[in-house]
Structure 1
Amino acid sequence: MIGPMVRTKLRLFQHRIRGCVTFSTEQPKVVTVGIDFGCKSLRIAIMDSLVPHVINSETGRFTPSYVTFMQLNSYVPYEWGLQHLDNVGKRVAVGEIAKRQILRQPSDVIHNIKKLIGKQFDDTVVQEMRKKVYFKIIEGPGGEALVGIHGMQFSPVDITSAIFQKLKDIVLMYQFHNELQAVISVPAFFDELQKEHIKSAACKAGLKLLQLIDETTAAALSSIATEDGIVVVFGMGSGSFSATILRVSPDTNIEVITQLSDPSVDGDQFDYALVDFVSQQILELHSVDIRGDIYAMTMLVEAVEQAKVELSNKSEVTISIPSFSTSAQGPVDLNITLSRLEFENLVDKLIGEIKSKCQSVLEDAKISANDIKEIVLIGGMSRVPKIQRVVCEVFGQNLQMKANPEEAVVVGSAIHAALTAEDEQEITYNMTPLSIGIESSQGIFTRVIPRSSAIPTKQTVKIPTWLAYGERKPVKVFWGEHVMVQHNVLLGEIEVIKNQSSHYGCADLELTFEVDKNFVVKVTAKCADDESSFFAFPIAKEDRSKENVDKAVKKALLDWKMSGREIHARLKNLGWHAMNTLCDVLYARKDELPDSLYKEAAQVLVDLKKSLDGDGDGDVDVLRASVLSAKSMESKILNWLPLSDDADSEYRDV
């Protein structure tokens, strides 16, 4: 007699290695992340096989730094984006959900909390901020600045902790982990009290804080020079301005020569100048003063911010808000055209201050503009064309946008987190300290056994190969982490000979890698139905030393941008395969396809061939689109059916 069926729940955890997703019952243990905590938005980057990846939230590659409180029974479109606060009987909404509420109830949405951290209520920055925001900023028992909402008081640490918790949830959705080790970037002008408050917020959110890092140092790490040289990091976001001159080297030694940070000059000042200009225009055109209308001003601030962003790419924008306000004549529609030249004239005084401060930094460094090797931009305001021209005039360099200004800090923070975690990590004898893999096309290192795999371990990989009878296929085995095999250690080379004449063209080469407790790599190679070949490569103790492992990891981290070559190589392999299969399908059905479909397929092949013939650093998006078009066309041809003469008879009424 068969007993009752027992059902067990099995939880699968998601693992990501170089963009490839797998699932297993083993929960990942620790992940290192970098956090860029900005006044208007924040970003988080995770390290994936020593390559930083900025994680998407519901709004894209950033999360708005907005916080509000909502009733427990209130409906919101993103239920998972809320966190429960049992002690106050409300839910905390962070990010886009909170930002959407600002148009409904401006006084209930907290933002720019970064400016309040570690500040006293009577501080000049706090008093200026009180005039610009609509949520309550109140004085605490010890004279500190607090925020008031829904009749409750919260410290900036509480609000910041909720924001960090939101980032933690984003990482957990991306990949489940037991523990998050984080490096958080802070402005250079933050004092010790402000830094302690950031640490408290991180601890409260459940993050293991490895270190705080200056935003300028993080930016330099994200775009470090290949040779020794002097780098200028110019940063300007919504909350502050900074200009730093550093001496950097490939081994991550960063020396600050001189630095100037000023929270009184920031992107918000540009917004205020535009808001004042548009408010005056409305007063002159419609005889309506909106400065006392909290809802109209909130809509105007948001529209002005968007116009400022668009003017970085356009010569002219239109600020348009229907039924913006009301006058004696009825509803007022806002429709004002603003040119880039007008915008630059409005903020000319602010840009003059920026230029003066940059010149002061260069003088303090006692160097000339000719000594500067590279300029790194950080912050959204650094995209403004007039600001870029000023930076070039002072520091005498043509800007090369090697990194996204909005993501340079978070990428550098993630790299620093990985370096810090690597320094603390000890070499154990039951795990592989580096990866083991093979050389693929264009000298790309393809991992077979990833680093930190428990040993003994065994992995099998299949490689499609095109071999004729008796042809030899050499395969090189490497030890390391760099995306290019030339920077890794060659363990040895195996050679596979195709002996079965019954198989022509493409055949799978099956490689089985096994690492024993003595760190001997055993490789079994088999092509089609041929007999297996066995090879063994011991990993030298010197190559497994802490010093050499750290050196290999550091080199791979600093050359993380080369990971794009690996992605491009993978796509090329897929592209050649897609082209071959499409050609076969097209040839098989060439006599029955209509001319229009045949010509369409031929054009898809031409476009794909053009993308495949590009260099190794070609446009990945273009190549990916070409591969997808080829796969789609292949499916279209396979599913195409000729029209039958008696097709109508098939649809007769029963």
Structure 2
Amino acid sequence: MDGVSVSDIAIGIDLGTTNSCVAIVENGSPRILPGAGGALTTPSIVCVDERGNLIVGHQAKRRFLTHPQDTIYGAKRLMGRRFGTPEMEDIQSHFFYEVVEGEQHEPVIRAGGKEFRLEEISAVILGQLKDAAQEALGKRVDRAVISVPAYFTQRQREAVRTAGEMAELDVLRVINEPTAAALAYGFGKRDRQRILVYDLGGGTFDVTVLQLYEEVYEVVGTGGDSFLGGIDFDNRLVQHLVERFQSRHGIDLSQNKVALQRLRDAAERAKIDLSSVEQTQISLPFLATTESGESINFDEVVTRKTYYDLTKPLVLNTLKIVERTLREAGLEKTDVDDIIFVGGMTRAPLVSEMVTKYFGKRPRKDVHPDEVVAAGAAILAEAIQSGKAAVTLADVLPVSIGIGVGKGEFRKIINKNTALPTQKSQMFRTTRDNQTGVAIRIYQGESRQAANNEFLGELRLRFPARPKGEVQIEIGFAVDQESILAVTARDSVTGKAVEAEFQTETAVARERYRADQILGEQQAGEADATAAASEGATADRGGGDRAPSKSGDADAPTTEPPTDEVQQEVGFLRRFLNNLFRR
């Protein structure tokens, strides 16, 4: 905002799969800030219109029905993942927009004739929330704490940080969503208690057990499934309705994107209705057309029992994760004092009934499931910004980290639920004569097979040739409070070490963006000088592309001139991040 002084405040952002929210601490209490039209939550949806402009939030959601292939939703599920995995292929099957493979083997979205990295889409949403905060406060905002699912991996957390930086936000901290919810729940309380946060949102499920005493929030166990959320509940109902229609009329609605999106929208509304009524009617006129040109309407009554039968297995899956998380923390369900519900899906009566039956007690009703995460993120943002030790967070590593060893196996170095920050090292010896180096492949996951876990990167170490077993290699792992990993490898012959915070494709995207900012400022100055010498002259601002070394490569990065393709991408990114949003 031009002419407005830099603010001494920081905001908290809940970057959700289906909806996002922004909050601030004001007069000692968290407050949710309204977005466009006064709504307190913003749909995490971006649409590319006919002119290539990006439409965000509620307007984008309204265009979803008529332009499904150009509307990007659920992008958070794809963030930080690698293209071509079975999980990716399953996710893609439920999206209308096209997902293609990027240069770094990451998923790239193609919509409206353009390609977008996942970080760019999230940056647009974050930029919208930032603008809403500035509009509500009348001050410039450039600092934030952003929440992520507790079960997000290193690569996914890195992607969220990158998105924040692209939105010109100084990301003070990435906080786990259940931890943020616990912060909001415990704010101002002095009770000593153990709580369980059950977070079932639009795209992910998290469960976290915390010990609260005064201003200390200690995570004792966490678990989750980043492929389980409200979208999956909708998919179960949509698939049922598609099958019913096909059995009656012989027409497969899944082959018609516009018709399928109309049905998906109706299914979402029916799901909400069934939270308060026993049955609901879905009526969609002219949903399909026969080969002879006759229009067919869709009319179907959906009962709560039918919906329960379709989705009960999903709720059972969440309770299995709850049980496993408690067991890993050495706890029984009777050790939990309170259950906190987070996420819109916790409003479903089926979820409340099954969780109540499992624990033998009802979840708390005094927290807002859609707003509590943003409020907690704002509390932490205020604490960091003010420099006051108002809260102390003791989090844990959500997913084990280790290395690939012989026969494709995975050896854990730091186990899941280890208190953070932490560091650990292990010694290894060379396995053959005259060996001159090792390639250390880093993974994150729980499977014994390395290939089934998330590949984070590779660190290469070279040393003089020696007989087998004479060279000792020390590999050190350090994980900070945000679950960000740094790895060091040192050999016993030279004593030299190589280290890296893994350059995933998200880090590459961030380095490109930073290089563009520097070159853009330089070229902007050149353009100003040219304009002063010749009135009306214009200058192109090309983007810079610094190509960093591959993950773990000991070689230094090389600098190359920007390509036309990168210039076009960066130019487009700069345009839509400079408030090219339609509210």
In the alignment, which of 15, 31, 36 is matched to residue 14 of structure 2? 36
Give 2:138's aligned residue: 176
Q: For residues 145 and 107 of structure 1, what CA distance do their matches in structure 2 show?
A: 16
1:287 is the counterpart of 2:266 = no
Aligned length in residues: 386
Q: Which one of 345, 348, 353 corresponds to residue 389 of structure 1?
A: 353
Equivalent residue runs for 1:522-541 within 5 Å: none
Write out aligned runs for 1:618-633 (5 A): none
Q: State how far apart, in whole Å, the 2-side matches of 1:367 and 1:153 are.
A: 47
Whether 2:365 is the aligned partner of 1:401: answer: yes
Distance across 2 between alignment mates of 1:162 and 1:250: 37
CA distance in 2, matches of 1:159, 1:399: 35
Per the alignment, residue 249 of structure 1 pairs with 213
Tell me, yes or no, if structure 1 residue 67 matches structure 2 residue 30. no
Moved more, 293-302 or 91-100: 91-100
Consecutive unaligned residues in structure 2, runs of 5 or more? 390-583
Q: Deviations over 1:551-574 (max 9, x none)?
A: xxxxxxxxxxxxxxxxxxxxxxxx
Partner residue, 2:279: 316
Cα deviations by residue, 1:507-537 (Å, 9 ceiling, x for unpaired): xxxxxxxxxxxxxxxxxxxxxxxxxxxxxxx
Which moved further from structure 2: 124-133 or 159-168?
Answer: 124-133
Q: What is the deviation of 1:424?
A: 6.3
Partner of 2:238: 275
Quick check: 1:337 aligned with 2:315? no
C-alpha separation in 2, matches of 1:139 and 1:28: 40
Match of 1:346? 310
TM-score (norm 1): 0.56
Tell me the amino acid that sits aligned with residue 323 of structure 1: F
* 8 Å Cα contact 1:147-1:154 kept in structure 2: yes
The reply to whether residue 231 of structure 1 matches residue 195 of structure 2 is: yes
Asked whether the 8 Å contact 2:4–2:140 carries over to 1, the reply is no
The structural deviation recorded for 1:26 is 7.7
Provide the secondary structure at the position in 1 that maps to 2:93: helix
Q: Which runs of 4+ in 1 moved over 6 A?
A: none
Please tell me whether the aligned partners of residues 47 and 415 of structure 1 are also in contact (alpha carbons under 8 angstroms): yes
Q: Does the alignment pair 1:373 with 2:300?
A: no
Q: Deviations over 1:424-450 (max 9, x none)?
A: 69xxxxxxxxxxxxxxxxxxxxxxxxx
Contact 1:358 1:394 in 2 (8 A): no
CA distance in structure 1 between the aligned counterparts of 2:382 and 2:12, rounded to whole angstroms: 9
**Contact 1:28/1:176 (<8 A) preserved:** no
Q: 1:185 aligns with which of 147, 152, 171?
A: 147
Alignment of 1:96-175 (within 5 A): 96-175=58-137
Which has the larger displacement, 329-338 or 166-175?
329-338
Partner of 2:382: 418
Q: Aligned equivalents of 1:329 and 1:69: distance in 2?
A: 31
On the 8 A contact 2:24/2:30 being kept in 1, the answer is yes
Q: 1:358·1:391 contact (CA, 8 Å) conserved in 2? A: no
Tell me which moved more, 54-63 or 105-114: 54-63
Aligned residue number for residue 213 of structure 1: 175
The structure with higher relative contact order (CA 8 Å, sep 6+) is: 2
Deviation at 1:369, TM superposition (A): 3.1
Do the aligned partners of 2:151 and 2:206 also contact (CA within 8 Å) in 1?
A: no
Alignment of 1:10-29 (within 5 A): 27=5, 29=7
Q: Which residue of 1 aligns with 2:260?
A: 297
Structure 2 residue aligned with 1:363: 327
Tell whether the 8 Å contact from 1:240 to 1:262 is kept in structure 2 after alignment: yes
Instruction: Give the 3 Å change call, closer, same or farther, for CA 223–273 of structure 1 in structure 2.
Output: same
CA distance in 1, matches of 2:113, 2:283: 35
User: 2:227 matched to 1:264?
Assistant: yes
Matched, 1:47 2:11: no
Contact 1:30 1:180 in 2 (8 A): no
Match of 1:93 in 2: 55
Once the 2 structures are TM-superposed, how far is the Cα of residue 137 of structure 1 from its aligned partner?
0.6
Q: Is the 8 A contact 2:17 2:75 kept in 1?
A: yes
The CA distance in 1 between the partners of 2:154 and 2:255, in whole Å, is: 38
SS at match of 2:319: helix
SS at match of 1:288: coil
* 1:374-422 CA-partner distances (Å, limit 9, x unpaired): 1111111111111112212222322221111111111111111111112
- Per-residue deviation, residues 32-60 of structure 1 (Å, max 9, x unmatched): 21100111111111222222111222351
Contact 2:143 2:169 in 1 (8 A): yes
Secondary structure at the counterpart of residue 223 of structure 1 = helix
Match of 2:67, as an amino acid?
Answer: Q
Q: Distance in 2 between matches of 1:393 and 1:359?
A: 13
CA distance in 1, matches of 2:96, 2:250: 24
In the TM superposition, what is the alpha-carbon distance from 1:302 to its structure 2 partner?
0.9
Shift of 1:179: 3.2
Gaps of 5+ in 1: 1-10, 14-24, 73-89, 426-654
Q: Please give the per-residue CA displacement for 1:288-331, whole angstroms capped at 9, x wherever unaligned.
A: 32121111101011110111122112222111212222235822
Change in CA separation of 1:106 and 1:184 when aligned onto 2, cut-off 3 Å: same
- Secondary structure at the residue paired with 2:53? strand
Could you tell me which amino acid in structure 1 is paired with residue 57 of structure 2?
Answer: G
Question: Amino acid of the residue matched to residue 409 of structure 1?
Answer: V
Contact 1:29 1:179 in 2 (8 A): yes
2:134–2:141 contact (8 Å) kept in structure 1: no
RMSD between superposed Cα atoms in Å = 2.2
- Residues 19 and 41 in structure 2, CA contact (< 8 A), matched pair in contact too: yes
Amino acid at match of 1:52: P
Q: 1:200 aligns with which of 136, 147, 162?
A: 162
Q: How far apart, in 1, do the equivalents of 2:370 and 2:10 lie?
A: 20
> Residues 595-606 of structure 1: matches in 2 within 5 Å?
none
Secondary structure of the structure 1 residue equivalent to 2:10: strand
Give, in whole Å, the separation in 2 of the partners of 1:329 and 1:268: 33
Summarize the Cα distance change of 1:336–1:209 in structure 2 as closer, same or farther, 3 Å threshold: same
Instruction: Tell me the secondary structure at the aligned position of residue 189 of structure 1.
Output: coil
Report deviation, 1:134. Answer: 1.2
Q: Distance in 1 between matches of 2:226 and 2:53?
A: 32
1:318 & 1:211 partners in 2: Cα distance? 45
Change (3 A) 1:279 1:415: same
CA distance in 1, matches of 2:86, 2:145: 29
Q: Percent identity?
A: 27
CA 1:29–1:138: 2 relative to 1, 3 Å: same
Letter in 1 for 2:347: R
CA contact (8 A) 1:290 1:297 kept: yes
For the 8 Å contact 2:206–2:222, the answer to whether it is kept is yes
Name the TM-score, length of structure 2 as normaliser. 0.63
Deviation at 1:368, TM superposition (A): 3.1
2:204 touches 2:228 (CA, 8 Å); kept in 1? yes
* 1:217 Cα deviation after fit: 0.3
Q: For residues 301 and 370 of structure 2, what CA distance do their matches in structure 1 show? A: 27
1:351 Cα deviation after fit: 2.3
Counterpart residue type for residue 147 of structure 1 = I
Larger Rg over CA atoms: 1
* Preserved contact between residue 179 and residue 208 of structure 1 (Cα < 8 Å): no
For residues 638-649 of structure 1, what are the structure 2 equivalents within 5 Å?
Answer: none
For the 8 Å contact 2:341–2:364, the answer to whether it is kept is no
CA distance in 2, matches of 1:65, 1:26: 28
Change (3 A) 1:367 1:190: closer
